[in-house]
Amino acid sequence: MIEIENVTKRYGDNTVVDDVSLRVEKGQVAVIVGTSGSGKTTLLRMVNRLVEPSEGRILINGHDTRDMPAYQLRRKIGYAIQGHGLFPHRTVAENIATVPHLAGWDRARIDTRVDELLSLFQLEPRHYRDRHPVQLSGGEQQRVGVARALAAEPDVLLMDEPFGALDPIIRAKAQDDLLDIQRKTGVTVLLVTHDMDEAMRLGDLIAVMAEGKVVQYADPATLLVKPATDFVDNLVGTADRPFRLLSLRKVDDVMEPGGADGGEPVQPSTSLREAYANMLWQGREALPVVDASGAAIGQVRLAAISRLAARPA
Ligand SMILES: Nc1ncnc2c1ncn2[C@@H]1O[C@H](COP(=O)(O)OP(=O)(O)OP(=O)(O)O)[C@@H](O)[C@H]1O
């Protein structure tokens, strides 16, 4: 759990983070969004004390982060950044082992952990362990960067635009992988991004920052239907609002009995945004829903989807 309490950062007369309070419960993913220069990175870096707050305090699992030396704190908090920050002259295994090594883990435990993480990130240990970062694709480097951040089994993972350098398809995969790994490890995540779609996809909660302040901290659906200010309203994108609402819901939420009259089937886990796009593309008012084995289990109708895309009364 991360508790940020009335935290302010000043550089001279310039207040770049202004009296921010946020709480991220254990196992939650909280995303910080906002315009360039609004203080997102500064706020994130105060959590692992790469930047020291001018005022306020930050607690991790109830402990004040100032109660231990900063270098020790940073070994307990994973940190992944855009561009991955891998050491170019170290192998993949050495990169991942950085913090466990500093923390004095023995060789066998480190080796086991490295292989476990490589497997978790779908990088076959035998093939990847001894490569250097330059011998990896951008997406693979990104996965090694996150694996390194998770190596010492941190309770908290900080991520600053971790997927910023990836192309859209690899990026979507990296986002899915993060959610999967987050569920498997239960790690608490605080992530900075410029990309509202990414924020909506990943965040249990989203903090919107403007000029050093958090102007709204809420779940994605609340940001869309009850933006606290015009700035939040603009940021969530008026034209995209219905589609973003649909992307938060699944076919399962509106599935009805009965069989649709033809059309490419969808699954209960398909997002309503995707189901809607499929219907428009196929020119159909309804699509069949099938389970993982391909057996028909119901239908999803355009009318039901449209109701969920509308602003709640
Ligand atoms: N070390 C520093 N000294 C002085 N000013 C700084 C320092 N670090 C950051 N700032 C200023 O603090 C403000 C917030 O910077 P920060 O990097 O936190 O913003 P951001 O929201 O992450 O921006 P971006 O999205 O562009 O990365 C900026 O105006 C920046 O110039």
Strands 63-64 and 55-60, bridge-based pairing: antiparallel
For ligand 1, is residue 171 a contact (CB within 6 Å)?
no
Q: Whose CA is nearest to atom 17 of ligand 1?
A: 41
- pLDDT class of 84 with cuts at 50, 70, 90: low
Q: Which two tokens stand for residue 6?
A: 């009335």
For ligand 1, is residue 162 a contact (CB within 6 Å)?
no
The per-residue pLDDT for range 66-75, each reduced to its tens digit, is: 998 998 898 8
Domains, in order of start, for the chain: 2-236 (3.40.50.300), 244-309 (3.90.1280.20)
Strands 77-81 and 156-160, bridge-based pairing: parallel
Ligand 1 geometric centre to CA of 9 (Å) = 10
- AA identity, residue 31: V
DSSP 308: H
Q: How many CB atoms are closer than 10 A to CB 190?
A: 25
The per-residue pLDDT for range 114-161, each reduced to its tens digit, is: 999 999 888 999 999 999 999 998 889 988 998 999 998 899 999 999
The per-residue pLDDT for range 253-274, each reduced to its tens digit, is: 999 998 878 889 999 999 999 9
For ligand 1, is residue 262 a contact (CB within 6 Å)?
no
User: In this predicted complex, what is the ipTM?
Assistant: 0.96
